[in-house]
Every structure is written in C-alpha cells, then in structure tokens.
Amino acid sequence: MELNALLTALQTHLPEILRWSGAIAKRLRHFNIAVENKTSGSALTDALTLADLTLQELIVAALRDRDPIFCNCRIEAEEKTGDLHRFAQDSPYVISIDPIDGTKQYRDKTADGYCVMVHLRDSETVHYSLVYIPETGEQGTWVEAVHQSVVCGPDDLSRPAREVLDDMPAIDPATRPDSPKIYLIGFQDKDTSNAELVTATGLEGVPPEEMPGSIYDHLATGAFGGSLIHTPNVYDFPVSLHIARILGGDAVWVHNGESVNFHEHWMDERADMLRLPGITACSANPETLKTLCELAKDWSKVRYQD
C-alpha cells in the first residue's frame, strides 16, 4: 500500500465524515446519553456516552464504504462499535479513531472544546491527523496535519469541508507564539500537584479541570506550549505528537529523552483502552521538552498505584 495514495484518500473523504459526526454530536448533546462502562476510577477516563458509540459507528462505516484502501489498514478505535472486522488485522498503517475526545465535558456540558478526531500512523510516527471541534467558533474549528503542514481555523458550513481546509494558511513555526502553558493529565490524584511542580520550573502547569478544551487547536496555534501525560492512550495523544513534530518539536519519554514511537503499548483493562508506556512530554519547543524531562525523569511510570 502506497502512503501517498492513502493520505490522498484520507484528505479527500475524512473532512466531510468528521463534519457529519460533529453535527450529530451537537444534536445528541441535548439528550441524556450517559452510559456506564469504564471503571478506571478516573472521571475523565470513564466518561462514556451514546454519542461516542454512535459517532464511531458512523466513522467506521464511512471509512469502510468510501474507499477500499482504508480496509487495508488496521483500525484502533476507542470504543467497540462499528464494522471493525472488515479492516486488516496485519498492516503497517493504523487508522486510529477517538469519536469524542473530551467526553466528560461533552456529557456534563461544562465546556465546548470536545472534538472528533482520526489519525494515521505507522510504528514510528504519525502521517495524517484531522480534528474537528464542532462547538468552538461560530461553525466549528478544524485542525489538520499532513506532510509538513499544520492548519487550524474556523469551519464554513456553506462550503465543502475540503475546500475550507485547502484555503487555510499553514501555521508558520517562526511566528507562532510559544506559550508557557503545559497541559497535564493521567497522573490520577496528582494532576494538580504535578501541575504546580511544572509551574515552579517557570512554565505554567494546567491540570484537566482548568483546561479550556481539547489540546489540539491550542497546541497548533501556540495558545499552549505542550503537554505532560502519564501513559497516554493511542487514540488521541499521537495527534499532539504529530503537530509538535511538524512545528519543530517532538514528543519524548521523560525518563530518557528519546522520541516516542509506537512499537510497544499495553492494554489498560480498567479503562479498556490501549496506552503507551511511561510518561511523555510533548512540545514544539525543544527547550520546553528539556525542562519537562528534567522535572519528571524520576516520576513513577506506573499509572495505578493500588
């Protein structure tokens, strides 16, 4: 399977699929759609709604039907819904789906920064990322990363989604602001205290309850400088990695400073999701990465202490 052909197919079909998904998410949010399922003990991780299940069903079906090239990829999806068995079991490329990132704020109606997202990766890096944030801005907001370009900007529902994305200027790393804000998540009951330790370095740690929305548009535009995440899952974190690498930075494991790859992962049975091992720092600024690694290099790599 040729990578450029796969990227072209994703760029062609995925924007309208995520736009449809975002519209459904906005509509379903008006109803009582909470579902009890995950039991990790973290409210952020365990939040699940019928919207997550419905949007994944739609995205998987659209990928199945729109272009046969997609079925040559493996699928890693946060939920279990959809015709997942139609996709390859062995392929160098993985299409990963997070039908609603930010499910707790979506369900509880505490903020509007939730998003629908899909990315393509292999064992080394991410090749394509698309994020749609339905309720940020008047008509939604896009983030797309492909080749060496990241774009971020408002949707325009009067025009085809692909056309809107094509007209967005690429973010220039030379003029993009470099915020000291660093998003922390995954440290269980230490998210806030660890955020304070980040702040003590001269950066500004931001725990989940203070996060204005999903990280992706904030990272792309420079409103946030990066993230520090304990055992990140494989459905959403790789998009941050992708954005950071294109903009001149990286995502690294804090204990050794090496670039994150996808050779190894583990199944978090409590949350029912695949995770990368250890703690990762992600930023477009290499100096920020050094600071975060120096701070967190000796922190425990074990997610659950009980």
Overall average pLDDT of the 200-225 stretch: 96
Q: Which pLDDT belongs to residue 304?
A: 92
Q: What is the pLDDT of residues 278-293, one digit of tens each?
A: 999 999 999 999 999 9
Q: Which pLDDT belongs to residue 271?
A: 85
Q: Which pLDDT belongs to residue 202?
A: 98
Q: Which pLDDT belongs to residue 268?
A: 93
Q: What is the pLDDT of residues 38-63, one digit of tens each?
A: 443 444 443 457 788 889 999 999 99
Lowest model confidence (mean pLDDT) among 3-7, 211-215, 241-245:
211-215
- State how far the Cα of 277 lies from the Cα of 51, in Å rounded to an integer: 29
User: Which residues are CB-contacts of 45 (< 8 A; sequence separation ≥ 6)?
Assistant: 38, 271, 273
Q: Which pLDDT belongs to residue 37?
A: 56
User: Which residues are CB-contacts of 74 (< 8 A; sequence separation ≥ 6)?
Assistant: 87, 88, 89, 90, 91, 93, 94, 95
DSSP 118: E
Q: Above pLDDT 70, what percent of the chain?
A: 94
Cα→Cα distances 63→78, 79, 149, 236, 286, Å: 16, 16, 23, 18, 36
Q: Which two tokens stand for residue 196?
A: 């304070």
Q: Which pLDDT belongs to residue 33?
A: 63
Q: Which pLDDT belongs to residue 44?
A: 43
Q: What is the pLDDT of residues 4-50, one digit of tens each?
A: 999 999 999 999 999 999 999 998 887 766 665 544 344 444 345 77
Q: Which pLDDT belongs to residue 104?
A: 79
More confident residue, 167 or 80: 167
Compute the mean pLDDT over every residue in the chain, rounded to the nearest whole number. Answer: 92
Q: Which pLDDT belongs to residue 46?
A: 39
The alpha carbon of residue 50 and the mean position of all alpha carbons in its chain are separated, in whole angstroms, by: 20
Q: Above pLDDT 90, what percent of the chain?
A: 80
Q: What is the pLDDT of residues 113-139, one digit of tens each?
A: 899 999 999 999 999 999 999 999 999
Given a cut of 90, whether residue 1 has pLDDT beyond it is: no
